[in-house]
Amino acid sequence: MKKRIVTIGREFGSGGRSVGRMVAQKLGVSFYDKELVRQISLKTGFHEDFIEQGEYAPIQSWMAYAFPASGVRNVMQGMSAEDFLWCMQCRVIRELAEREPCVIVGRCADYILRERMDCLNAFIHADMASRADRVVRLYGQAETSIERRLEDKDKKRRVYYKHYTGQEWGAAANYDVSLSTSALGLERCADIIVSLMQEELPEAGEIKGGAYDASN
């Protein structure tokens, strides 16, 4: 079957978002990244900055940073802000996937859409030196060392992903394809994903395409 949706998980600074944008452009489909945050904001009443921070820091008291629109407390039904946001995020992502072919970056979309057979789940990463180089180019120097910032971001994404999915963030087994932008280049990573989206891929449950030759 052909896939309709690409989800992209990524290490901070790996260029995963750029790869996602290239894939969406080449396929001529919608790209959900900031726009996804905006839609979740509309649904929840939370400020966009709060939602963006959320992906990095789930196990904190977020209320100090949140600016819920009037009435939002009434619909939270006793849930923590984090869990309410997660539920709304799941709903928005499922609705998007139902509505149109698209590329969705981050926010555990691979896990949220795990029941769908029409998703290609990709993970984008890069070596530490390349990520450091890229982040300094994009965001400039900061007071804390760049390696420290990267480790900190990775750790928070790992905790967030583990908390809500029960799975290990960045484990190859969670994705259909994982690619290093430092080893392959951004364009090549995008091209691999695009070509996979244009092919008939196997149905789940059986490994196809080679002889069963007593090797694994």
Binding site for its own copies (CB under 8 A): 10-19, 21-22, 33, 120, 123, 125-127, 129-131, 133-135, 137-138, 168, 170-173, 175-188, 192, 196, 199, 201-202, 204-216
Residue 189 CB, shortest distance to its own copies, in Å, is 8
Pick 36 or 81: Cβ nearer its own copies: 36
Residue 46 CB, shortest distance to its own copies, in Å, is 22
d(CA 147, CA 163): 24
Q: Name residue 33's beta-bridge partners.
A: none
Residue 84 CB, shortest distance to its own copies, in Å, is 27
Pick 87 or 184: Cβ nearer its own copies: 184
Three-state secondary structure call for residue 128: helix
- Phi/psi at 30 (nearest 5 deg)? -70, 150
Sign of CA dihedral 48, 54, 57, 59: positive
Copy the structure tokens of residue 130: 């390349």
Pick 44 or 174: Cβ nearer its own copies: 174
Pick 23 or 66: Cβ nearer its own copies: 23
Pick 63 or 129: Cβ nearer its own copies: 129
d(CA 147, CA 133): 10
Residue 216 CB, shortest distance to its own copies, in Å, is 5
Residue 13 CB, shortest distance to its own copies, in Å, is 5
Amino acid identity at 176: D
Sign of CA dihedral 34, 104, 171, 81: positive
CB-CB contact of 165 with 113 (8 Å): no
